[in-house]
């Protein structure tokens, strides 16, 4: 795994072998950041990375100069790994150890981009819950973008605020835009 672009572009992230994760691939990250760059100036963005895992997406936003990044990860090993990588690379990322659902209930901040990469074994009800909490709690700014990574077995195009789905390699990303619809 590596950071693709920006100040830390090319830097490798050595994820411990005992982590049972599927980090977002370089191809997928490139596609996602191309879409984001078409709509936003990354340097002005406040970003929330839910189910951060290895911190891969947060590192990419930080490297590209995002104004503020908050990562939320529940697993203690993953949280500590992200914390150590933030320190090692001197990245401006705020890491929170919490269950995502609990975090969203108490959060009072708003973000321009929310990236969520929940476990692939999530059922459709949990995806629906995340989407509803994010848009009802106003955690996302007007014209903000929610990006959810998921498997091909999940269809999210029937939910409110749905914008589009993109496929990169074996990964699917559904985009939700906070506009009136």
Q: Quick one: DSSP state of residue 42? A: G
12 found inside a domain? no
99 found inside a domain? yes
Q: What tens digit of pLDDT does each residue of 69-125 get? A: 999 999 999 999 999 999 999 999 999 999 999 999 999 999 999 999 998 888 999
Confidence at residue 94, expressed as pLDDT on a 0 to 100 scale: 97
pTM above 0.85, yes or no: yes
Q: What tens digit of pLDDT does each residue of 26-64 get? A: 888 898 999 999 989 999 999 999 999 999 999 999 999
Structural domain containing residue 149? 26-177
pLDDT of 181 over the 60 cut: no
Is residue 39 within 8 Å of residue 66, measured between CB atoms? no
2 found inside a domain? no
**Domains in the chain: how many in total?**
1
78 found inside a domain? yes
50 found inside a domain? yes
74 found inside a domain? yes
What's 80's domain CATH number? 3.40.50.150
Confidence at residue 180, expressed as pLDDT on a 0 to 100 scale: 66
Residue 80 tokens, joined: 């500590």
């Amino acid at each position: 795994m590596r950071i693709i672009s920006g100040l830390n572009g090319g830097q490798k992230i050595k994820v411990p072998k005992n982590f049972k994760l599927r980090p977002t691939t370089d191809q997928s990250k490139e596609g996602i950041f191309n879409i984001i760059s078409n709509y936003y100036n990354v340097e002005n963005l406040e970003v929330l990375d839910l189910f951060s895992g290895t911190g891969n997406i947060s590192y990419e936003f930080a490297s590209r100069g995002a104004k503020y990044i908050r990562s939320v990860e529940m697993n203690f090993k993953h949280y500590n790994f992200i914390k150590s990588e933030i320190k090692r690379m001197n990245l401006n990322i705020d890491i929170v150890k919490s269950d995502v659902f609990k975090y969203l209930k108490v959060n009072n901040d708003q973000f321009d981009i929310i990236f969520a990469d929940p476990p692939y074994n999530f059922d459709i009800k949990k995806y629906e819950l995340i989407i509803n909490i994010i848009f009802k709690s106003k955690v996302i700014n007007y014209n903000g973008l929610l990006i959810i990574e998921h498997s091909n077995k999940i269809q999210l195009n029937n939910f409110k605020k749905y914008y589009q789905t993109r496929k990169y390699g074996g990964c699917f990303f559904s985009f939700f835009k906070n506009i009136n619809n």
